[in-house]
Structure 1
Amino acid sequence: MTYQQTLDYLYSKLPMFTRVGAAALKKDLHNTLAMCAKLDNPQNKFKSIHVGGTNGKGSTSHMLAAILQQAGYKTGLYTSPHLKDFRERIRINGKMITKQFVKDFVASQQDIIQEIEPSFFEVTVGMAFDYFAKEKVDIAVIEVGLGGRLDSTNIITPELSVITNISLDHTNILGDTLPEIAFEKAGIIKKNIPVVIGEKQTETEAIFIQKAKAENSSISFAGSSLHIENAHQKGSLLIVNIYKETQLIYPNLALDLTGSYQLKNILTVIESILKLKEIGYSIPDEAVYTALKNVKKLTGLQGRWQTISKNPLVICDTGHNKAGITEVMQNIKNTPHQKLHVVIGMVKDKDISGVLALLPKNATYYFCQPNLERALPTNELTKQAATFGLKGTEFNTVKEAFQNAKSKATPKDLIFVGGSTFVVAEIL
């Protein structure tokens, strides 16, 4: 098979969560373990950091990978979903996995794929672990796909577990209360392995503490031990001063990821770096400063409060649940503009009304649907939006909606594109 045929095979043959939703999920780790056993258990051949949480796990993973890479470690990075190219999911020192490896891997695994009928995600995880083992990475940052306890990535024994935060998302799969979701996410806490929790939340704190105690794991809450003062924007960078208790440990740290939600993520990242240094990793301050100023360049991260063009200002963001959209609204409020134009599409299994309730009534909306089976049909989105007083026009495709917004906006307006990772992917 050619590379393109290989991808077509993966997309069409294997159940894929992004396309069909919960039906693609396997309820245990059996397939991933079977696949990795056939590959001679690559997950045991490299060191790793496991990153879970509801929001911020992608940005946190990319920042950690950038810092480790800058500190001289050969660093693997596994994230999902991809925005433009399947190979974005699997990188070493920022470079995507080769097309040849993807082709060879799928060709060599045909028998087991036929036999156990794994999901798309299970195959991708096996591929990533095999690649990192064969390329002998020093360490790999592994982002959880969904949940934690039963996620395919949860067959690793990492050096450090990281959980960014907990909010309501994928409630049809993970449970519809914060404690239920926290229980699933806490499944990545392993015996004697330290864990960093990003945000301390009243409803979930006890669950993490209990699980860490049961596993004899040291636990720290980044938001409790560290804090930020005097955060401000300087050109295209976000500048922060990070304190541990009363001591200034990172003065004037510049981030090229500038969304206001990165203020939470950066504390998680720094707490994780402090933990890694404690267990023997050599990470000079200089590596932290250089990496965080160049995350996008070093790791290829896209879609996080990303400026696409100016005059009018066009910004996209992959936030797609209540917590994510709350942060997006904060960023929009902090961005000077005359009129707001919102290009929005969503997928069916999200908290649609929870998100729509947060959107401003005085914006012009361009309703659309991303090109996948899980997409919420445009007419349904328009109907639901109307009940929240949001008015706009329907379009058949994301591209049409975006072109229309660009033709209507004046140079001082702001066009925001979002509502779903897949809407952002189509624009990028």
Structure 2
Amino acid sequence: MNETDTLEFLNNLQRFGWRLGLDKILKLLHGMGNPQTEFNSIHIAGTNGKGSTAALLESIYRHAGYKTGLFTSPHLLTINERIQINAVPIPMEKLISGVDKLKDDIERINCTYFEALTALAFRYFADSGIDVALVEVGLGGRLDATNVISPVLSIITQIDLDHTEYLGTTLSEIATEKAHIIKTNVPCLWQSRHPEVSAVISKYAFHQNSQLNTLDEMCSVQTNVCTEDFSEFNLTFADDKFEDLKLQLPGSYQINNAALAVAATKILHEKFNLTREDIYGGLRNVKWPGRLQKLRDRPKIIVDVAHNTAAVKAIMKDLKSIYQFDRLIVLVGLLNDKNFGEISRIIASAAESVFVVTPNSERALDGRLLCEELLRYSVQAVYCPKMATGFQNAISSANENDLICILGSHNVVGELLHFYKKP
């Protein structure tokens, strides 16, 4: 197989969509010798922040000299981003050879796109002799293809309503799905501000005899500085204090993700030996594109993969509190499983004008529907048939003191980053 054949084969698997269940991934992994049993792993679920938390932990452990694996989804620019060792995406030749070896089994078992990539990642990690893998759940938790690992720690980030057609329509139902990454006698770290979520997580952790660590009980967070380029904050634990931690990812929500990452290292201190400088250096040097990423100034152009109600609300809040600008111009495209009515209300309450596109995805929400919804809130909204058109319209309408924010999905941000060039 060559690169074209490999990518075509994998992309064709997307015809199966999301098909939750563990039978097929277990069959595939069994035929590979169960590589998921050959390395330490940390499993991370949640509605928002799980990818960032994984990236933060990866950076900390890599800074300490550990050989790290990182498995996240979806990708922004290339499929290789999903599978990384020591922050380097899997080389195309490795991806090609991995697919070539598994192709017959993937077809015989009828694996999905995500199942195939999960198996490829675990084989690559095992063959490379990593010390620890940071594994982000793809969807939910209970029946997600990643839920075949036996982690040394399970982390559950903030839980909100998303993917309701798969996970349930209430917070309790969604929490139940995500709680199933908690394993027997394996510690769990989590954070939630919803009482109904807390009840579900606590009950399941007790059932699994899991040591339950709540972030808010483990440490307190004090934000010192929050700018458009970095944040600085303090973390206070019962037996330790980290002052003036500097994080290169802007946004108040990233401080929360960083607190989860540092708390995780405290829980696992006996397994992974870290110095204070490893934590400071890991946070200071982390790179995670597409999260309040600034592309230019005058006008400011910011991209963020915020794609559900809670995430868009957080981004609008941070834009207002962190950035200085005259007018907010939004370029947005959503997938069809999102609460576009509520997202429209949030965007319309903050933006001067909105340009709407249809993401390049089979699951895309028709941008014309989103545009109609935005117009209901008396905000200026224009549908653009192509991303390039939407971006050019946004640029043309902006003054040098305005801010343009592109958001709504990995597809939208990825497509923009593909063709964006600095002037």
Does the CA contact (< 8 Å) of 1:60 and 1:269 recur in 2? yes
Q: Does 1:285 align with 2:272?
A: no
Partner of 2:388: 399
Deviation at 1:110, TM superposition (A): 2.0
Structure 2 matches for 1:51-90, cutoff 5 A? 51-90=44-83
Which one of 209, 216, 226 corresponds to residue 223 of structure 1? 216
Comparing 383-392 with 50-59, greater Cα deviation is found at 383-392
Q: 1:237 pairs with 230, 244, 264, which one?
A: 230
Structure 1 residue aligned with 2:4: 4
Partner of 1:15: 14
The reply on whether 1:32 has 2:25 as its aligned counterpart is yes
Match runs of 1:261-280 below 5 Å: 261-277=253-269, 279-280=270-271
Output the CA distance in 1 between the equivalents of 2:277 and 2:68. Answer: 17
- 2:102 matched to which residue of 1? 109
1:343 to 320, 327, 331: 331
Which residue of the partner structure matches residue 375 of structure 1?
364
1:290-301 correspondence runs (5 A): 290-296=281-287, 301=288
Is the aligned partner of 1:98 residue 2:91? yes
1:143 matched to 2:133 = no
Q: Distance in 1 between matches of 2:83 and 2:389?
A: 31
Q: Is 1:322 the equivalent of 2:309?
A: yes
1:416 aligns with 2:405: yes
Answer whether contact 1:344 1:419 (CA < 8 A) is retained: yes
Q: Is the 8 A contact 2:228 2:250 kept in 1?
A: no
Return the alpha-carbon distance in structure 1 between the equivalents of residues 200 and 228 of structure 2: 41
- Aligned residue identity for 1:125: T
| CA distance in structure 2 between the aligned counterparts of 1:243 and 1:391, rounded to whole angstroms | 45
In 2, Cα distance between the equivalents of 1:171 and 1:390? 28
Pair 1:353 & 2:334 matched: no
- Over the matched positions of the two proteins, sequence identity in percent amounts to 36
Query: Which of 276, 285, 292 is 1:305 aligned to?
Result: 292
Structural RMSD (CA): 1.4
Q: Deviations over 1:61-81 (max 9, x none)?
A: 000000011111100000000
- Unmatched 5+ residue regions in structure 2? 418-423
Q: Distance in 2 between matches of 1:224 and 1:371?
A: 42
Counterpart residue number, 2:154: 161
Partner of 1:385: 374
Q: Output the TM-score relative to the length of structure 1.
A: 0.94
Displacement after TM superposition at 1:397 (Å): 1.2
| Counterpart-to-counterpart distance in 2, 1:163 and 1:390 | 36
Q: 2:334·2:364 contact (CA, 8 Å) conserved in 1?
A: yes
Deviation per residue, 1:322-348 (Å, 9 max, x gap): 110111011111111011111011111
**DSSP-derived class of the 2:5 partner:** helix
Task: Give the Å deviation of 1:186.
Answer: 0.2
After superposition, the C-alpha distances for 1:113-158 in whole angstroms (9 at most, x for unaligned) are 2211100000000000000000010111000000000000000000
**Structure 1 residue ranges without an equivalent (≥5):** 17-22
Query: Whole-Å Cα distance in 2 between the matches of residues 385 and 237 of structure 1?
Result: 32
TM-score, with structure 2 as normaliser = 0.95
**C-alpha separation in 2, matches of 1:341 and 1:314:** 9
Say which SS state the counterpart of residue 156 (structure 1) adopts: coil
Distance, in Å, in 2 between the alignment partners of 1:230 and 1:346 is 32
- Matched pairs, number: 415
Structure-to-structure mapping, 1:181-260, within 5 angstroms: 181-233=174-226, 236-245=229-238, 249-260=241-252
